[in-house]
Amino acid sequence: MTDAKLDELCINTIRTLSIDAVQKANSGHPGAPMGAAAMAYTLWDRVLKHNPADPAWPDRDRFVLSAGHASMLLYSLLYLTGYAGVTLDDIKNFRQWGSPTAGHPERTLIAGIETTTGPLGQGFSTAVGMALAERFLAATFARPGHAIVDHHTYVLASDGDLMEGISHEAASFAGHQKLGKLIVLYDDNLITLDGPAGLSFTEDVATRFEAYDWHVQRIDGMDPEQVASALRAAQEDGERPSLICARTHIGYGSPHKQDSAKAHGSPLGEEEVALTKRAYGWPEDQQFLVPEPALAHCRQSLQRGAQRQQEWQSRFDAYAKAYPADAAAFRRAMAGELPDGWDLALPSYSPDDKQIATRAASGQALNAIAGVLPLLVGGSADLSESNNTDLKDQGVMSVENPAGRNVYFGVREHAMGAALNGMAAHGGVVPFGGTFLVFSDYNRPAIRIAAISEFRSIFVFTHDSIGVGEDGPTHQPIEHLMALRTIPRLLVIRPADPNETAMAWKAAIEHDDGPTVLALSRQAVPNLPGTAGGGARGLLRGAYVVSEAAGTGRPDAILIATGTEVGLAVDAQKLLAARGVRARVVSMPCWELFEQQAQAYRDEVLPPDVRSRVSIEAGVTLGWHRWVGSDGDCVGIDGRFGASAPAKTVFEHLGFTPENVATRTLALVERLSGVRS
Ligand SMILES: Cc1ncc(C[n+]2csc(CCOP(=O)(O)OP(=O)(O)O)c2C)c(N)n1
Ligand SMILES: [Mg+2]
């Protein structure tokens, strides 16, 4: 068989596996795998550096299927090249309960999937973070004569990916950063879900990317030779990211559906499947056919991959001999391990210390641990001074200083979120990024991907309430804390004071299988006596008694507060004591961590027989009845936004005063004791 014939056989194997799997599942997207098979195969067969037997090899090239709906393309490639995580039976079980071959590629289901994709634009933008991490680690660990990190990041993106706003942000950022090892294949098939792309997408994409300072090529994406030479040219142009606009045909080979949106998101139908196979010269009556020569050829990836990994291993061994400490640090970093006792570097505070905002305490914590965690890397979306995210004396990341640890993401919150995810996905670094909490909505889809993919991405959200003050309702988060708490696997931590803030960083860094949000104040807070001397370690259990009711025995009431409202609760506690009500104050910085505690601990903090419970949080109260119970009361902000005025005034007008909290608590205690008597 000639090489060209063998290529065609492999490409048609990918196409027909995709067609058959979608047909059998009666669900899925056959068109993109059929149209993009030639370029994806060419990339994987001739260019991609990977070892299917070791999907975690640190120096592998990263491949991101940004057009996640084309999942069968990726599953076919993973199976054919020999990844153990996908069998032919898994492909037959495409999109079924418990099968790793889920509707869209999920990182946690198959070793070999670098990041979860499906929401268009995310994969492309995540890949930018991977390329950033690669360049950072290459520069950080490079020693004279040794290069142990040296790989590319490849993306397959569709029209939808390039229409999404996040990809515009990410492309602009990647061009600015000159990420020369990022190479994007654009499946330029002129079709989207609704019909011809021309219904909504007519700009000159190539020129747009040229303006972003990308290297841009236009090719026929159905021709493996053109794809291969474009990939080589993209590699050679190492100074800029590359976009290869590959003209392809969605649903290629289908007599009635090729080049039409009908091929996009539903099975071809049995008759059309047969006609398409006939067009490929494929046996019409066989399903999931994998011709032996195609499998044998693709499985050469195993041998090639093992050899390339071995070459790297030899280089790494030489490095380890010359620089044993660096090699050990690299291994630990790639395994996501933290140095023993790293948290001893975290600061602690006493009640007499100067009052500062929790965002300032966060900046102090970050800088205190920057030395012991040299791979902590991040920045802000143009708010670094407000977010206190600067790492002092650690340099600015750029093409000239790729090992700089401060990343200026620009006003690109969404792309920043995805870039953090990409850095976490790449491994070796612990990424963080900041903006105002109110703009967490601009990050939310990336936070969700981080949670689904189990990425340790740390979001530093400051200006966390109406305490923002004068900037007014557009800048005062109201619904955001609760909205974030609804995302599974995300830790949302709102520390009350500097000691809790230091513990919040400990929790965030040690939460290595999911993202963390830190909600931090703009305004100064008191140093609570209850957090001093290790008291703030209670944060690690999600909620704890930060100020016990005076006297002994069961408290009359429990005040449950978060963040800046904990200090307020402590003030209310004093007023209540003067009125004969013994109130306990519980600081509840993290619901998710509290939910993970044993029932016995939860009952200790919130004794079930104390029904007079009041929550205090400057946000919507929806959800707080989980902790205050149906008898309890919630001091919060419902049915309105904040207001533009000095913070103290806004707090007072919206009921966040010790007097109001004490009055409401007293009323509750009286009402409930009345009910009982
Ligand atoms: C953020 C987001 N919006 C919408 C969708 C639903 N969706 C899936 S594919 C697609 C567009 C299809 O066009 P294109 O990206 O060109 O893919 P092709 O049809 O060419 O495979 C849409 C709207 C999605 N997956 N993600
Ligand atoms: Mg398209």
Contact call for residues 607 and 591 (beta carbons, < 8 A): no
Q: What does the pLDDT average to over 104-110?
A: 98
Q: Largest alpha-carbon pair distance within the chain?
A: 93
| pLDDT score of 531 | 98
Nearest protein CA to atom 18 of ligand 1, as residue = 192
Nearest-CA residue for atom 10 of ligand 1: 193
pLDDT exceeds 90 at position 583: yes
Token pair recorded at residue 246 = 């590959």
Q: Find the ligand nearest to 67 CA.
A: 1
Ligand at minimal distance from the CA of 265 is 1
**pLDDT reading at 214 higher than 90:** yes
State which of 15, 69, 202, 247 you would mutate to test the pocket of ligand 1, scoring each by most atoms of that ligand within 8 A of its C-beta: 69
- In DSSP notation, 250-283 reads TTTT-TTTTTSGGGTSS---HHHHHHHHHHHT--
Reading the block at residue 43, the tokens are 């990339």
Of ligand 1's listed atoms, the one at least distance from the Cα of 29 is: 21
Q: Return the ligand 1 atom nearest residue 263 CA.
A: 19
Burial class of residue 193 (count of CB atoms within 10 Å of its CB; 0-12, 13-18, 19+): exposed
pLDDT in tens, 588-633: 999 999 999 999 999 999 999 999 999 999 999 999 999 999 999 9
Give backbone dihedrals phi and psi of 185, rounded to 5 degrees, phi first: -95, 120
* Interval between CA 257 and ligand 1 midpoint (Å): 17
Beta carbons of 513 and 524 less than 8 angstroms apart = no
Average pLDDT for 159-180: 98
* Selected residue with higher pLDDT from 553 and 649: 649
Q: What is the pLDDT of residue 189?
A: 98
Residue nearest to atom 25 of ligand 1 (CA): 119
Mean pLDDT of 516-540: 98
Q: Is 470 a catalytic residue?
A: no
Protein residues near ligand 2, an ion, with CB under 5 A: 158-159, 189, 191
Give the ligand whose atoms come closest to the C-alpha of residue 157. 1
Pocket test for ligand 1, best of 72, 158, 252, 444 (most atoms within 8 A of CB): 158
Catalytic residue, candidates 106, 413, 565, 592? 413
Pocket test for ligand 1, best of 155, 250, 264 (most atoms within 8 A of CB): 264
Q: How far apart are CA 670 and CA 251, in angstroms?
A: 71
Residue 242: strand, helix, or coil: strand
Q: How far is the CA of 271 from the centre of ligand 1 (A)?
A: 26
Position 675 scores a pLDDT of 60
Q: Percent of the chain having pLDDT more than 90?
A: 99
537-573 residue pLDDT tens: 999 999 999 999 998 889 999 999 999 999 999 999 9
C-alpha–C-alpha distance, residues 12 and 19, integer Å: 10
pLDDT at 1: 86
Ligand 1 nearest atom to the CA of residue 197, by list position: 16
Ligand 1 nearest atom to the CA of residue 68, by list position: 25
Atom of ligand 1 nearest to the CA of 121: 1
Check pLDDT > 60 for residue 676.
no
Q: How far is the CA of 444 from the centre of ligand 1 (A)?
A: 19
Mean pLDDT of the region 168-183? 98
Which bound ligand lies closest to the C-alpha atom of 193? 1
d(CA 18, CA 90): 12
- Helix, strand, coil in percent for the chain, rounding step 5: 50, 15, 40
Ligand 1: residues whose CB is within 6 Å?
Answer: 31-32, 67, 69, 118-120, 158-160, 189, 191-193, 250, 264
Cα 167 to ligand 1 centre (Å) = 13
- The best mutation among 73, 120, 168, 257 to test binding of ligand 1, ranked by most ligand atoms within 8 Å of the C-beta, falls on 120
One-letter identity of residue 131: A
The two beta strands, 613-616 and 356-357, are unpaired
Q: Tens of pLDDT along 111-162?
A: 999 999 999 999 999 999 999 999 999 999 999 999 999 999 999 999 999 9
Convert the pLDDT of each residue in 461-488 to its tens digit.
999 999 999 999 999 999 999 999 999 9
Q: What is the pLDDT of residue 674?
A: 79
Which residue of 15, 192, 205, 245 sits with most ligand 1 atoms within 8 Å of its CB, as the best mutation to test the pocket?
A: 192
Please say if the pLDDT value at position 215 is more than 70: yes
Tokens linked to 122: 């995310």
Distance 186 CA to ligand 2 centre (A): 9
Burial class (CB in 10 A: 0-12, 13-18, 19+), 202: exposed
Q: What value does the CA radius of gyration of the chain take, rounded to a whole number of Å? A: 28
Nearest CA residue ID for atom 8, ligand 1: 69
Residues 517, 462 contacting (CB under 8 angstroms): no
Q: How far apart are the first and last CA of the chain?
A: 92
CA of 12 to the centre of ligand 2 (A): 20
**558 alpha carbon to ligand 1 midpoint, in Å?**
50
Report the separation in Å between the CA atom of 155 and the middle of ligand 2, taken as the mean of its atom positions: 15
Nearest ligand atom owner, CA of 414: 1
Burial 580-595 (b: 16+ CB within 10 A, else e): ebbbbbbbbbbbbbbe
Residue 677 is predicted with a pLDDT of: 42
CB atoms within 10 A of CB 626: 10
Q: Residue with the nearest Cα to atom 21 of ligand 1?
A: 32
Q: Which numbered atom of ligand 1 lies nearest the CA of 118?
A: 25
Q: Which atom of ligand 1 is nearest to the CA of 119?
A: 26
- Strand 242-247 vs strand 633-635: parallel, antiparallel, or unpaired? unpaired
How remote is the CA of residue 348 from the centroid of ligand 1, in Å? 49
The band of 489, judged by pLDDT with boundaries at 50, 70 and 90, is very high
